[in-house]
Amino acid sequence: MCSRYTLTSPPEAVRTLFGYANDAGFPPRYNIAPSQPVAIVRHGLRGQRELALVRWGLIPPWVKDPMNFAMLINARAETADVKPSFRSALRHRRCLVPADGFYEWTGRAGAKQPHLIKPKNGGLIALAGLWEHWLGADGSELETMAILTTTANAEMAAIHERMPVILTPDQFDEWLDCRSGRSQEAKKLLSPLPDRSLEITPVSKDLNNPRNDFPEVQRNMPDTLL
């Protein structure tokens, strides 16, 4: 699963890697949690890449009352093409989620140990996402997104069965281009990141509280066992 992540790279670095046309500032985030507004990159009306802020937690368009619907923060890559909640978004509304790393937990309730997972040499990564547009009967609108998950690669398997799909820059165009209206080619991009490319470090339990959004939550806890 992927249910918390971080994006601390400066906006100009994000824009350079993701190549969107519009410009937007955003503060460094050390502890991004579901239900919060997050930055995504998608194709705009003229096919140009754009940065948008949407809510993390996908609400399918047929939902009557979003307040009584458990938002979908992840979508299984293996089945997203057949699930009513994701099928249309996988065809028409794919996006990238800029991140510097993501978090997973080990341990039992009451002793939850968070771990930061990021590229061995640092830097930005792109999580594969789906976004959705919800229209209320009263005219209210809501844009939301979910992060795709796949099976864990070798490093991740040590702590967790699943991991978010991470795309490389050479895959960005094919993933973002939804003009064909088909999902099968895009689905083929959804594999685990190759082994030996990520590093996992235990971090401060301060991370557990989503209200703690400051650099110290990423403090390395070297003595902590996996």
Q: Is 178 a catalytic residue?
A: no
Asked if 85 interacts with DNA (CB under 7 A), we say yes
The separation between the first and the last C-alpha atoms of the chain, rounded to the nearest angstrom, is 17
Interface with DNA by CB under 7 A: which range of 8-16, 17-25, 71-79, 123-131?
71-79
> CA–CA separation, 65 vs 71, rounded Å?
11
Asked if 225 interacts with DNA (CB under 7 A), we say no
Neighbours of 193 (CB within 10 A): 21
Q: Identify residues 105-134 at the interface with DNA (CB under 7 A).
A: 105, 108-109, 112, 114
Asked if 29 interacts with DNA (CB under 7 A), we say no
Asked if 62 interacts with DNA (CB under 7 A), we say yes
Nearest to 29 by CA among 3, 9, 2: 9
Distance in Å, CB of 97 to DNA, minimum? 15
3-state DSSP assignment of residue 205: helix
Phi first, then psi: give them for residue 88, nearest 5 degrees.
-70, -40
Closer Cβ to DNA, 29 or 119, answer by number: 29
Q: Where are the beta strands (DSSP E) in 166-210?
A: 166-167, 198-202
Distance in Å, CB of 50 to DNA, minimum? 25
Selected from 26, 29, 50, 76, the binder of DNA by CB under 7 A is 76
Selected from 83, 92, 187, 219, the binder of DNA by CB under 7 A is 83
Residue with token string 């209210």: 140
Q: Which residues are catalytic?
A: 2, 104
